[in-house]
Amino acid sequence: MDEKNKKIVEEIAKTIRGLSIEAIEKAKSGHPGLPLGCADIGAYLYAEVLKHNPKKSNWLNRDRFVLSAGHGSMLLYSCLHLAGFKVSMKEIKFFRQFGSKTPGHPEVHVTDGVEATTGPLGHGTGNAVGMAIGMKILAAKFNTDKYKLFDNKIYALMGDGCMMEGVVSEASSIAGHLRLDNLVIIYDSNKISLDGPVSENTSEDTKARYRAYGFDVFEIDGHDLDALDATFKEIEKKQTKPILIVANTIIGKGSPHMSGSHKVHGAPLGEEELKATKKALDLPEEEFYVSKNVSSFFEKKQESQKKLEDDWNENFSRWAKENPKLFEEFKKMQCKTLPSELEKDLKDLEMKTPIASRESSSKILNYLAEVLPFLYSGSADLSSSDKTYLNNFEQITFSNFKGRNFKFGVREFAMGTISNGLSLVDTFIPVCGTFLVFSDYMRNAIRIAALSNLRVIYQFTHDSIFLGEDGPTHQAVEQIASLRAIPNLQVIRPADANEVKMAWIAALKHIGPTALILSRQGLPTLAETSISFEDGLSKGAYIIKKEKTKPDYTLFATGSELSLAIEVAKELEKLNKDVRVVSFPCFEIFETQKKEYKDKIIKGELGIRVAIEAGSEMGWYKYIGLDGIAITVNRFGISAPANKIKEEFGFTVDSIVKKII
């Protein structure tokens, strides 16, 4: 690095430190340690490395920077502000305040230039792996000998806390296995975590660990700009594997009394230490100071960055004209438009009966993959059982990114974070599968997908105690209720093949994640569910059997219990009882309906209300009232054949009738 460039990067780093600690102090809240310790890395990345256009932050071929150590958000906000993204000085000063675009941890779609919602440690690293996979897919699919449209890189910054989280091990193992030569992970190794020195709990050889994963590993002084420059120039020259850069840094660098200590990790410096730190860093007394040199540097850089995208757009236009079929495929992936006849086509798909909803969903998914090129599917080592494999497409491997099937191995959490990263590339809707009980392993990834409005579809199978002999370790009881507790997650438990078809339409329309809750056992296909999407599943709950006059009983049921509810209704009618049966596949969709419709389903003179679902009772009393009867499962299951379990837990017609009469 020549002296002129080095001088301006040093000044940018100093500016990042000043903006960060002042914003944190003004908010009286935040994490100054990482911004002070990683300012040199941030300055170098945004001044020298990243190929992007801050004035059009969604340019598809941009380099992406993910701050996995999301608690250090002021580092990112300072970089984005200086680089010219839509992060104003007003927002810097409004850090962590109500309604600000600079929240405590970075949130995608809230702050311009933020690539992923991060904060739960390690999550962003998995996102970065997913983004790198997504860009490798696009390159394999659309690059030609003449045009290399997609050649960007994904950069992630993670800390000691991220490195300790298991999801980083899972995601890094996959990255190494797939030989992702477009992924660079920078490890901020300051050897301090919130509670104290990392040496208190960790003594592993991190470099050896990552070499074993299949990474190329570099180690540098994270404050040495010449070392940073030399390392990144070597990576730029030739990268054949994912990279880990171990950047040894001093947490809170510049703070006279707190640097190198866990005390600077998660709390403001305080007014006196702030003044002392500014003096030590040779920062002017003026608050939130940005020099003309720094402003001018980034203004000039924005011109070259705009030209970078303009040139790419011209190249893309030429490619589109010369490759019309590829261009049409690209547009379909980017727009994610559903065919106008999709509902009719799905209705026309023939299904045997009875059929497990995991099987009917598999048939639908395989059909959809043929007409929706943006659907990619994967499983945590269960594709033969959760039925997520796309039969007419290849598996993605390190030598073939033209496939559309992922094999994640037994790595549920990484599968979730990688799927989120793939969704963030914005040309994919990933589908990922495992048994419902193992959704617990990936819960944080599901939550972040919901928070971020990411379009990910989860195929959760083996949905209840009725899977039988595998026993309580594999029998889902509380999982449906716990998933329903996540805002913006559609949890759909379809009753049969008809509802599974409509559930897929709901999943594809939803701007956010959807969990399809599917059975292992065969389910009869019901004539009562053979109705339009508009009249049925799009409402979340709908009447499938009307009362003759005024119901003595209203039965609410989901999934495999809907056919049971119909049989119970028939038995009650033999006892001269008037019965309404409501299919209730999705609480979340139902809650979006107009009041008039909801009142029609759950209010009025409905007699004794009964919920029938082979899962926790939690959530049902909102609909059946405190006097309602919940035929549910509120203890762990047992290892036994399914029919014996039905008897033991009272999921038979006779048992239910006796309980509610």
Give the model confidence (pLDDT) of 592-605 as tens digits: 999 999 999 999 99
Confidence of residue 494 (pLDDT cuts 50, 70, 90): very high
Confidence of residue 637 (pLDDT cuts 50, 70, 90): very high
pLDDT at 575 over 90: yes
- pLDDT of res. 563: 98
With a CB cutoff of 8 Å and minimum separation 6, the contacts of 323 are 144, 147
Selection from 141, 131, 150, 152 nearest residue 316 by Cα: 150
Place of tokens 């890189």: 153
Fold match between domain 3-305 and domain 539-660: yes
* DSSP secondary structure, 295-340, as one string: HHHHHHHHHHHHHHHHHHHHHHHHHHHH-HHHHHHHHHHHH-PPPT
- pLDDT of res. 587: 98
Which whole number is the average pLDDT over 171-198?
A: 97
Which whole number is the average pLDDT over 364-369?
A: 98
Taking the C-alpha atoms of residue 87 and residue 100, their distance in angstroms, rounded to an integer, is: 10
Taking the C-alpha atoms of residue 563 and residue 640, their distance in angstroms, rounded to an integer, is: 22
Q: Residue 345: what residue type?
A: D
Beta-carbon neighbour count of residue 3 at 10 Å? 6
Q: Which residues are catalytic?
A: 412
CB 498 within 8 A of CB 523: no
CA distance readout (Å), 129 to 185, 285, 535: 9, 42, 41
Which whole number is the average pLDDT over 409-419?
A: 98
- pLDDT of res. 146: 97
All structural domains of the chain with their residue ranges: 3-305, 342-529, 539-660
**Which burial class, exposed, middle or buried, applies to 575 when counting CB atoms under 10 A from its CB (0-12, 13-18, 19+)?**
exposed
Selection from 347, 651, 385 nearest residue 525 by Cα: 347
Taking the C-alpha atoms of residue 655 and residue 651, their distance in angstroms, rounded to an integer, is: 7
Q: What is the pLDDT of residues 430-485, one digit of tens each?
A: 999 999 999 999 999 999 999 999 999 999 999 999 999 999 999 999 999 999 99
Taking the C-alpha atoms of residue 93 and residue 19, their distance in angstroms, rounded to an integer, is: 9
Strand partners, 221: 248
Which whole number is the average pLDDT over 192-221?
A: 97
CA distance readout (Å), 184 to 50, 155, 204, 218, 598: 12, 5, 21, 11, 51
With a CB cutoff of 8 Å and minimum separation 6, the contacts of 277 are 17, 21, 36, 254, 255, 256, 269
With a CB cutoff of 8 Å and minimum separation 6, the contacts of 48 are 1, 5, 9, 229, 232
Q: What is the pLDDT of residues 114-152, one digit of tens each?
A: 999 999 999 999 999 999 999 999 999 999 999 999 999
pLDDT at 1 over 90: no
pLDDT at 164 over 90: yes
Q: What is the pLDDT of residues 65-82, one digit of tens each?
A: 999 999 999 999 999 999
Which whole number is the average pLDDT over 366-389?
A: 98
Percentage of the chain with pLDDT > 90? Answer: 100
Written as six digits, the tokens of 501 are 């078809």
Which whole number is the average pLDDT over 89-118?
A: 98
Q: What angle do CA 169, 463, 610 make, to 5 degrees?
A: 140
Confidence of residue 32 (pLDDT cuts 50, 70, 90): very high
pTM greater than 0.75: yes
Q: What is the mean pLDDT of the chain?
A: 98
Q: Residue 492: what residue type?
A: I
- CATH assignment, 342-529: 3.40.50.970
CA distance readout (Å), 346 to 11, 363, 500, 501, 543: 60, 10, 10, 6, 22
Q: What is the pLDDT of residues 501-551, one digit of tens each?
A: 999 999 999 999 999 999 999 999 999 999 999 999 999 999 999 999 999
Q: Which CATH fold topology does 539-660 show?
A: Rossmann fold (3.40.50)
pLDDT at 236 over 90: yes
Strand partners, 397: 400
3-305: in CATH 3.40.50.620: no
